[in-house]
């Protein structure tokens, strides 16, 4: 018995629905297999879903990503190209194919694919990031920063984008901006050890440059200074021009004086080595302690601490503890810590005086106010409490 046209249409629709559900089920299965690390099983499920899913371009895109995860570049490129042929306005396969081309060293093809992806989706953060990365490698730092800015505007949590944008800024001479970006990269991903290393390296360079400039200012004209910081010692290398005199007996004290003012944390000595002209033979080579023969900072044990203890005990107790730290730090050779403790004692003493003065002022003000209220009451307030004569109700 032949089926009618209507029944045949119903059967075809039912078969199509069944195939569609099977395709969706296979896609979900491939996703679960990828999460389990079974990439080959996921690829097999996607291949089976190709003939059943209503959007084969989605299957090609997913299977291309699986092939790329399996490091099968040729199969991944083929699947991405199939997805582009089926849906040429979708930016995703261009984005992924561009990444594949970039990893294979085909930069021109990668650039073309990312340009097309961004034409269809200008705010595609991934395509922006990779195109910026390519521009950075090619030395086009301005283009790289523009793409990284757009990528981070769309997705401000891209730690890698901050990391590479920092390199672009550093190449353009913006060290402060680069350090800020490396810090943001670490805030978003603490595992970025490269960002931490670069941040410390540039901070050290900036610190060394500032220190070199500060010490260069006290040297005679015609003497060049180079500086190295290793552990707790500075190495100061001088090179003077022929005919420029230097008194090596007074110069160490001058340098020591400025280093004491800077109070570099952790630095205890400096090694002074000097050359003349292009000579490789040192004419001076000595090591000096920065804080040798420097007197202990004032601990303010006497009147100031006792006065603070009497005026405002909370600050007085703190100043007493800090005073004890001054001598202890100095005796173990940590002069900067002793100086910080001494300054803290001074601030606590001054603060206690200010607090006590304000308290006395408020007490005096309150006493004056209450005295005026007792002896000179406000007549207007009492008058306001009495009924007015003209407001009385006539009988």
**In this predicted structure, what is the pLDDT of residue 93?**
95
For the chain, what percent of residues have pLDDT higher than 90?
39
Tell me the pLDDT tens digit for each residue of 205-251: 888 888 888 899 889 899 999 988 887 888 999 999 988 888 888 99
Token couple for 394: 């006539």
Tell me the pLDDT tens digit for each residue of 342-365: 777 777 777 776 776 777 777 777
pLDDT-derived band at 15, boundaries 50, 70, 90: low
Of 191 and 16, the structure prediction assigns the larger pLDDT to 191
What average pLDDT score do residues 300-309 get? 61
What average pLDDT score do residues 291-304 get? 69
**327 near 296, Cβ under 8 Å?**
yes
**In this predicted structure, what is the pLDDT of residue 77?**
94
**In this predicted structure, what is the pLDDT of residue 392?**
42
**In this predicted structure, what is the pLDDT of residue 325?**
73
pLDDT-derived band at 303, boundaries 50, 70, 90: low
**In this predicted structure, what is the pLDDT of residue 256?**
86
Q: Which domains does the chain have, with CATH numbers?
A: 13-205 (1.25.40.10), 220-289 (no CATH), 303-379 (no CATH)
pLDDT-derived band at 128, boundaries 50, 70, 90: very high
**In this predicted structure, what is the pLDDT of residue 76?**
92
Number of C-beta neighbours around residue 177 at 10 A? 16
Which segments of the chain does DSSP mark as H helices, in order? 5-35, 39-49, 56-69, 73-86, 91-103, 107-120, 125-137, 141-154, 159-171, 175-188, 193-216, 251-262, 303-311, 313-331, 335-375, 379-385
What average pLDDT score do residues 57-73 get? 88
Residue 132: pLDDT over 70:
yes
Q: What is the average pLDDT value for the chain, to the nearest integer? A: 81
CA–CA gap between residue 305 and residue 350 (Å, rounded): 10
pLDDT-derived band at 189, boundaries 50, 70, 90: very high
Which residues pair with residue 225 across a beta bridge?
Answer: 238
**In this predicted structure, what is the pLDDT of residue 344?**
78
Tell me the pLDDT tens digit for each residue of 19-33: 556 656 766 776 777
Half-sphere exposure of 338 (CA within 13 A, CB side): 19
Of 7 and 194, the structure prediction assigns the larger pLDDT to 194
What average pLDDT score do residues 259-264 get? 80
Classify strands 233-240 and 269-276 as parallel, antiparallel or unpaired: parallel
């Amino acid at each position: 018995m032949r089926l009618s046209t209507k029944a045949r249409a119903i059967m075809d629709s039912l078969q199509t629905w069944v195939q569609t559900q099977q395709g969706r089920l296979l896609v979900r299965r491939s996703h679960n297999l990828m999460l389990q690390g079974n990439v080959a099983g996921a690829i097999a499920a996607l291949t089976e879903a190709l003939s059943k899913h209503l959007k084969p371009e989605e299957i090609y895109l997913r299977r291309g990503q699986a092939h790329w995860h399996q490091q099968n570049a040729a199969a991944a490129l083929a699947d991405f190209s199939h997805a582009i042929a089926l849906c040429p306005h979708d930016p995703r396969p261009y984005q992924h194919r561009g990444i594949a081309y970039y990893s294979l060293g085909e930069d021109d093809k990668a650039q073309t694919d990312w340009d097309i992806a961004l034409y269809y989706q200008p705010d595609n953060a991934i395509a922006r990031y990779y195109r910026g990365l390519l521009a950075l490698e090619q030395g086009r730092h301005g283009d790289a920063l523009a793409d990284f800015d757009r990528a981070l505007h769309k997705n401000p949590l891209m730690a890698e984008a901050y990391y590479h944008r920092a390199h672009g800024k550093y190449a353009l001479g913006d060290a402060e901006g680069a350090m800020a970006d490396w810090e943001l990269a670490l805030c978003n991903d603490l595992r970025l050890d490269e960002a931490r290393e670069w941040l410390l390296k540039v901070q050290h360079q900036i610190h060394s440059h500032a220190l070199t400039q500060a010490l260069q200012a006290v040297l005679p004209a015609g003497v060049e200074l180079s500086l190295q910081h290793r552990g707790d010692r500075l190495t100061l290398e001088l090179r003077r021009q022929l005919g420029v005199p230097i008194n090596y007996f007074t110069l160490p004290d001058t340098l020591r004086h400025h280093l004491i003012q800077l109070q570099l944390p952790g630095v205890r000595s400096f090694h002074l080595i000097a050359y003349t002209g292009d000579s490789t033979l040192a004419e001076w080579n000595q090591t000096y302690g920065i804080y040798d023969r420097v007197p202990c900072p004032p601990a303010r044990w006497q009147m100031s601490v006792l006065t603070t203890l009497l005026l405002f005990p909370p600050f007085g107790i703190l100043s007493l503890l800090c005073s004890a730290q001054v001598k202890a730090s100095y005796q173990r050779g940590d002069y900067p810590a002793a100086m910080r403790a001494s300054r803290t004692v001074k601030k606590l003493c001054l603060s206690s005086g200010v607090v006590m003065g304000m308290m006395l002022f408020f007490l005096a003000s309150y006493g004056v106010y209450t005295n005026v209220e007792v002896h000179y009451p406000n007549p207007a307030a009492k008058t306001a409490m009495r009924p007015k004569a003209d407001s009385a109700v006539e009988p």
